[in-house]
C-alpha cells in the first residue's frame, strides 16, 4: 500500500461510512483515485461461464451501485466487475445511518435496502461502458413491487444489452421477505422468468444466482437442484449474513447484513457444499471475507472458479487487488500449479 493510498484511506475514515463511500465513488469516476498497477499473467487467466477473465479476482456488487465509476474500476486490475443492484424504479432504500464499519472485526454491516437510481439511469451509463472490462449487473426488486419476481426480468430487459452477465440477487437480508424467493418453487418460477427475458435479448447473457450463507443443508440442496434444472450459468456464494457470533466492535448489534472477515468460514463452507451438491458442474464464485491471497486461494480450493471482494477494500484499498493476484501466483508456485484453473476444488473436502 502506497503512502498516498494509506493517507487517502485514513482521510475517508474520518467521515461517516456512507459519505466516505460516496467520496470514493466520486474520486474513481473523476479519475482522481490512485490506482494500482494491474498484475498481468497468463497463469491467472481463467474462464467463467464462457467469459474470459484476465484473473479470478472480481469486484462484488454493492460497491458501485449505479455504475458511476466504471472507468476507474476498469483500470483497477479486477478480473471482472459487478455493479448494482438495480431495481426497475429508483428507490431511496432504508433510512440513514445504514452502513457501519467494524474495524476490530475487519467487517462491515449494511442495511441499504437496494438504494439505487433505477434501471433506466443505470442502463444509460452501462451503454457507455469502457472497453476491456468484463462487466456484470446485479438484478434486484423494488421494495413496494406487486411482482418482485417480475422485477428481476424487467431489469434484465432494460439493461441486458450492455452487460456480460447478470446476477439474480434473492439473498439480500435488507429487503423484507426477499429471501423467501430462495425457496425451490418460488426460485424456479423467478429464474424461468429471467431466462425468458434473456431469450428476448439479441445475445445470450450468462445468468448467475447469488445466495445467502444462512441456509441449512436441505435449503442448499434445493437451490442446487433448481440451479441445475433451470440451467443457471453460475452461483455466487455468498451474500451477507444475519449472524453476529464473536464480534468485538461497537456496532456489532446493528441490524443488517454482515460482511468481511467474520463471514469467511461460513461462506466458504456453503461454497464447498454447493460444489459437492452440484458435482462441480456449475461454476461457483466465492465471496465473503476475501481479504488475502490465502483466503482467495482457499475459496478456489473449496470449489470456486473465481472470487469477489468488497468489504476488504474499506480497510485495504484497491492495492489489495494486485496483492491478491501476486499472492495467488506465489501460492501456485509453492504447490506446483501452472494455471489458476487447476486449483478449483482441490481442497473441497477440507470444508465439508
State the catalytic residues.
172
Q: Using DSSP, state whether 69 is helix, strand or coil.
A: coil
Distances, alpha carbon 183 to alpha carbons 70, 132, 178, 220, in Å = 34, 37, 10, 10
The answer to whether the CB of 98 falls within 8 A of the CB of 111 is yes
Strand stretches in the chain, DSSP E: 46-48, 51-53, 57-59, 80-86, 99-102, 107-110, 135-139, 165-169, 207-211, 234-237, 257-260, 284-287, 306-309
Query: Closest by alpha carbon to 77, among 317, 347, 330?
Result: 317
Alpha-carbon span 308 to 264, nearest angstrom: 12
**Can you read off the three cell numbers belonging to residue 12?**
475517508
Alpha-carbon span 118 to 293, nearest angstrom: 35
**Can you read off the three cell numbers belonging to residue 143?**
421494495
Sign of CA dihedral 111, 314, 31, 52: negative
Alpha-carbon span 76 to 265, nearest angstrom: 27
The answer to whether the CB of 65 falls within 8 A of the CB of 116 is yes
Alpha-carbon span 261 to 83, nearest angstrom: 22
**Can you read off the three cell numbers belonging to residue 336?**
506446483
Amino acid at each position: 500500500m502506497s503512502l498516498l493510498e494509506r493517507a487517502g484511506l485514513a482521510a475517508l475514515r474520518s467521515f461517516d461510512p456512507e459519505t466516505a463511500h460516496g467520496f470514493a465513488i466520486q474520486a474513481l469516476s473523476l479519475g482522481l483515485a490512485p490506482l494500482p498497477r494491474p498484475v498481468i499473467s497468463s497463469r491467472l487467466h481463467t474462464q467463467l461461464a464462457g467469459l474470459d477473465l484476465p484473473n479470478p479476482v472480481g469486484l462484488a456488487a454493492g460497491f458501485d451501485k449505479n455504475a458511476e465509476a466504471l472507468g476507474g474500476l476498469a483500470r483497477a486490475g479486477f478480473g471482472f466487475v459487478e455493479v448494482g443492484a438495480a431495481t426497475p424504479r429508483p428507490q431511496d432504500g432504508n433510512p440513514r445511518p445504514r452502513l457501519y464499519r467494524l474495524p476490530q472485526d475487519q467487517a462491515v454491516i449494511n442495511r441499504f435496502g437496494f438504494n439505487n437510481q433505477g434501471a433506466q439511469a443505470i442502463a444509460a451509463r452501462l451503454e457507455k461502458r469502457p472497453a476491456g472490462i468484463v462487466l456484470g449487473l446485479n438484478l434486484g426488486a423494488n421494495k413496494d413491487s406487486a411482482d418482485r419476481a417480475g422485477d428481476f426480468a424487467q431489469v434484465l430487459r432494460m439493461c441486458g444489452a450492455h452487460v456480460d452477465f447478470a446476477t439474480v440477487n434473492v439473498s439480500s437480508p435488507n429487503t423484507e421477505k426477499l429471501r423467501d424467493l430462495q425457496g425451490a418453487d418460488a426460485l424456479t418460477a423467478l429464474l424461468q422468468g429471467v431466462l425468458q427475458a434473456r431469450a428476448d435479448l439479441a445475445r445470450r447473457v450468462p445468468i448467475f444466482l447469488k445466495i445467502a450463507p444462512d441456509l441449512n443443508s436441505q435449503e442448499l440442496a434445493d437451490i442446487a437442484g433448481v440451479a441445475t434444472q433451470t440451467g443457471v450459468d453460475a452461483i455466487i456464494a455468498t451474500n451477507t449474513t444475519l449472524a453476529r457470533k464473536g464480534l468485538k466492535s461497537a456496532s456489532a448489534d446493528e441490524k443488517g447484513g454482515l460482511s468481511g472477515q467474520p463471514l469467511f468460514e461460513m461462506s466458504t463452507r456453503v461454497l464447498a457444499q454447493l460444489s459437492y451438491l452440484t458435482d462441480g458442474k456449475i461454476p461457483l464464485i466465492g465471496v465473503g471475507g476475501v481479504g488475502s491471497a490465502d483466503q482467495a486461494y482457499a475459496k478456489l480450493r473449496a470449489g470456486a472458479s473465481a472470487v469477489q471482494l468488497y468489504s476488504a477494500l474499506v480497510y485495504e484499498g484497491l492495492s489489495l487487488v494486485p496483492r491478491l493476484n501476486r499472492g495467488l501466483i506465489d501460492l501456485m508456485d509453492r504447490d506446483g500449479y501452472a494455471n489458476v484453473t487447476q486449483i478449483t476444488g482441490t481442497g473441497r473436502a477440507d470444508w465439508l
